[in-house]
Structure 1
Amino acid sequence: MSGDTPRQDDNRALIVLLSVIFLNIAGFGLVIPLLPFFGKALDAPAWQIAILFSAYSFGQFLGEPFWGRMSDRVGRRPVLMITIAGGALSYVALAFAPTIWLAFTARFVGGFLSGNISTLQGALADITRPEERAGKMGLMGSAFSLGFMIGPAIGGLLAHPELGPLGFQIPLFAAAGFGLASAAAVAIFVRESRPEPKTGARVPQIEALREAFAHPVIARVMIISFITVSGFAGIEATYGLWTEQRFGWGPRQIGFAFMAIGVLGAYCQAILTGRLVRRHGEPRVLTAGLVAMWIGMGFQFFSPTWHVAMIGFAFVCFGQSICFPCLTALISQATPPDRQGEFLGLNMSNMALARIGGPIYAGQLFSLVNPGAAFVVTAILIMPATALALQIMRRTLRAA
């Protein structure tokens, strides 16, 4: 062990972090497709089911900047151990929630404790050279996709909606098991990677937010993240209800659909994103990803059959897969090494805020306008996001 080079240590750390991400997201992905049916088992209407998604996002909104700054201060490893284990226990609490209101509470606490994505991103950025970050963030995205591929399929197989709320306890226990396994992996295998913090007082959070929105790249990235994630979160919250009404789908069909799309996402993020970025650069790949997402929304809204809807879903998955690693890489490249967790945490909090509003308005659109109205709204939101991506591209070309 003592003879290992820094590069070998970094490669080992990369493998462990990707494994932790996979286990953690598999547990998260296992629950997401089941939530609409879990809510219905508690006799919740569509708007309350949407709030189940928003409660988690509200917790993440508060948790991401807190845990991001904490990871810069005390280290990535202890923050990951606390948040992953706490998130796992929140699934157990959700499994025993007798009412929708206690389910809201469990989801909020789970969201706060699971506000650790920026910490994982920071740990990955710590061991990666700036020019390699988009590719490595793509690998991280691939681990996410594999988790979403495996998790929903397991959740669909383990769920028994005919038993009411009890029929969802086994998949929730499985999600908790994935989380506890992730926490154990961090405790045993992950070494501290945080750069030595600079001396002096920390920048107040409101000042850090002003810095972010004064930066020509970070500000645009955060706006793109917000308006695209809010639209996508609305679709995510109502997708199970939409497919049930449109195609008669249940938890198993949803789980296998997510699994199939996860294969595509894993390939795009593990192999395709890095190659595209090396050839075309982050701004161009980001723009292409947004256009693909826009096309996918149209396919899904106008789909006459589930086959066409899955083509649209694939376009959205492809766009997301090449888009979001670029957003993260652009922020990390524009951020000092000792403030990676802080600025990545701000963006993750920004995205969590988007996930609060998205499900709420999507639930209202589903009930009052049209079950597929969220697809139209998301397509509209992506257009100004694409314009901002083009501005980043032009700015990058001028600076080159």
Structure 2
Amino acid sequence: MDKRLPPLLVAVFINIAGFSLILPLLPFFGQIFDAGPFGISLLFAAYSFGNIFGEIHWGRQSDIWGRRKVLFVTTFCAGLSYFAFAFAPDLYWAIAIRIVSGFFSGTMSVAQGFIADVSTPEKRAKTMGFFGASFSLGFAFGPVIGGLLAGDGATAASFRLPIFIAGGFSVLASLWCLLVLRNVVAPKGKGAPLPKYSEAFAFVGSQPLLLRLFMIGFLGIAAFASMEAIYGLWSEENFGWGAHDLGFAFLAIGAGGFLAQVVLIGPLVSRFGEARVIMGGLFLLALSMVLQPVIRLPVSGVVLMGMLMAGHSLAFPISGALISRNTPPDRQGGTMGLLMATNALGRIMAPPIFGLIYEAISHDSPWYIGAVMIGFAVIISWQVIRITDQKKAQETA
């Protein structure tokens, strides 16, 4: 591992731990304002709404200021937004603050730019694996801390301590970036041009493989984000869980992602190929969604969410890598920008819709509808296998 990389991985771990610390609190924090499933789902979607604008803005800004300065400023401002969230007077203010928080947290493209700065193309996949592992570790530990520190009552005061801790984590990550992180590439003084989405859309539409991978990404991430949004409400109703229990459940979710990223991806891709691993990850997603309301036990509620995250961590990083590898260098910026926008659209649109489904149809319906969505993605992934097999046969002929 390049010695310049660990400081970034530490910053990612601290930042994601702070972000994920709030996740098990959101279903119960929303109830303070008498929010129903739709309103609580909006709290999840609001963050993603701000996130997409942050990713576009801060990725370009990092070319002007440098990665270090952008990460310092954004994580510090994200920390301030957490402190403001703790004192939100009503649901509308809470949603607005979550949008701001998502905007300042939209720095994954900056972190990935740093990784591109320190790694050669042939080592980038392995380096991204370290990045994914630090992300999953932060996602595993943060919710546990949030759940343990939350109070018992459904009052704003009972959630302030863990939210303050989340803000403190972000400020700590900000100071770490300022004091330890160093730019690998000097700031360019000008931002990269904005992705040309219209050209990227036409290009992706003309490529059968890329089009199907984009469809898989949209369906899968939309379903996953929706399950994440309704999981707290569903487990509260079925198991009587509060923020403490949900925090430990999120530990299993993070552990599933960590296991997939660190242990499973490499050997599985080497043996079966990327396209088949994508299908396997999607199958895990669909199976975990179907079984959740069928088994309906606390232990299965935890294990199946870990399996859900493992499937997600297998399917979508590989799908993004396959898109990148099958895109010409001069199309990379627009295509990957469009992928980011498409995935963000799924995270923004789907959770409120599934919140309405949870409220209006039945509390088990989101699991089954999500499984059907992933079922369509599995069918599309079978087509991806056929296309990639044909390409390999042509290359070796």
TM-score normalised per structure 1:
0.88
1:202 is aligned, of 185, 193, 198, to 193
Q: Which moved more, 1:69-78 or 1:252-261?
A: 69-78
Report deviation, 1:365: 1.1
Q: Does residue 371 of structure 2 align to residue 379 of structure 1?
A: yes
Report deviation, 1:206: 2.8
Report deviation, 1:218: 4.0
1:80 is aligned, of 60, 71, 87, to 71
Q: Could you tell me which residue of structure 1 aligns to residue 167 of structure 2?
A: 176
Q: Does residue 245 of structure 2 align to residue 280 of structure 1?
A: no
Report deviation, 1:141: 2.1
1:122 is aligned, of 113, 135, 139, to 113
Cα 1:37–1:338, aligned 2, differ >3 Å: closer, same or farther?
farther
Q: Does residue 164 of structure 2 align to residue 164 of structure 1?
A: no
Output aligned runs, 1:1-400, within 5 Å.
11-72=2-63, 74-162=65-153, 164-193=155-184, 202=193, 205-207=196-198, 209-210=200-201, 211-334=203-326, 343-400=335-392
- Deviation readout 1:170-220 (Å, 9 max, x if unpaired): 1111111111222222223333345998x9993653345334544544443
2:144 and 2:248 in contact (8 A); partners too: yes
Report deviation, 1:339: 7.7
Corresponding pairs, count? 391
- Deviation readout 1:16-45 (Å, 9 max, x if unpaired): 222121111101110011001001122222
Report the 3-state secondary structure (helix = DSSP H, G, I; strand = E; otherwise coil) of the residue aligned with 1:43. coil
Cα 1:284–1:131, aligned 2, differ >3 Å: closer, same or farther?
farther
1:68 and 1:345 in contact (8 A); partners too: no
1:137 and 1:329 in contact (8 A); partners too: no
Report deviation, 1:155: 0.3
Q: Could you tell me which residue of structure 1 aligns to residue 395 of structure 2?
A: none
Report the 3-state secondary structure (helix = DSSP H, G, I; strand = E; otherwise coil) of the residue aligned with 2:106. coil
Gaps of 5+ in 2: 393-397
Cα 1:69–1:301, aligned 2, differ >3 Å: closer, same or farther?
farther
Report deviation, 1:275: 2.5
1:68 and 1:344 in contact (8 A); partners too: no
Q: One-letter code of the match for 1:82?
A: V
Report deviation, 1:278: 3.1
Q: Which moved more, 1:89-98 or 1:332-341?
A: 332-341
Cα 1:17–1:274, aligned 2, differ >3 Å: closer, same or farther?
farther
Cα 1:73–1:288, aligned 2, differ >3 Å: closer, same or farther?
farther
Cα 1:398–1:130, aligned 2, differ >3 Å: closer, same or farther?
farther
Over the aligned positions, Cα root-mean-square deviation in angstroms equals 2.7
Looking at structure 2, the residues matched to 238 and 127 of structure 1 have their Cα atoms a distance apart, in angstroms, of: 39
Gaps of 5+ in 1: 1-9
Cα 1:88–1:349, aligned 2, differ >3 Å: closer, same or farther?
farther
Looking at structure 1, the residues matched to 194 and 235 of structure 2 have their Cα atoms a distance apart, in angstroms, of: 46
Report deviation, 1:374: 1.2
Identity %, equivalent residues: 41
- Deviation readout 1:242-279 (Å, 9 max, x if unpaired): 00001111101100111133223212212221232233
Looking at structure 2, the residues matched to 127 and 208 of structure 1 have their Cα atoms a distance apart, in angstroms, of: 30
Q: One-letter code of the match for 2:48?
A: S
2:289 and 2:371 in contact (8 A); partners too: yes
Q: Which moved more, 1:330-339 or 1:112-121?
A: 330-339
Cα 1:328–1:129, aligned 2, differ >3 Å: closer, same or farther?
farther
Report deviation, 1:352: 1.8
1:142 and 1:268 in contact (8 A); partners too: no
1:138 and 1:325 in contact (8 A); partners too: no
Q: Which moved more, 1:99-108 or 1:180-189?
A: 180-189
2:37 and 2:355 in contact (8 A); partners too: yes
Report the 3-state secondary structure (helix = DSSP H, G, I; strand = E; otherwise coil) of the residue aligned with 2:171. helix
1:75 and 1:192 in contact (8 A); partners too: yes
Report deviation, 1:161: 4.1
Looking at structure 2, the residues matched to 343 and 78 of structure 1 have their Cα atoms a distance apart, in angstroms, of: 27
Q: One-letter code of the match for 1:230?
A: A
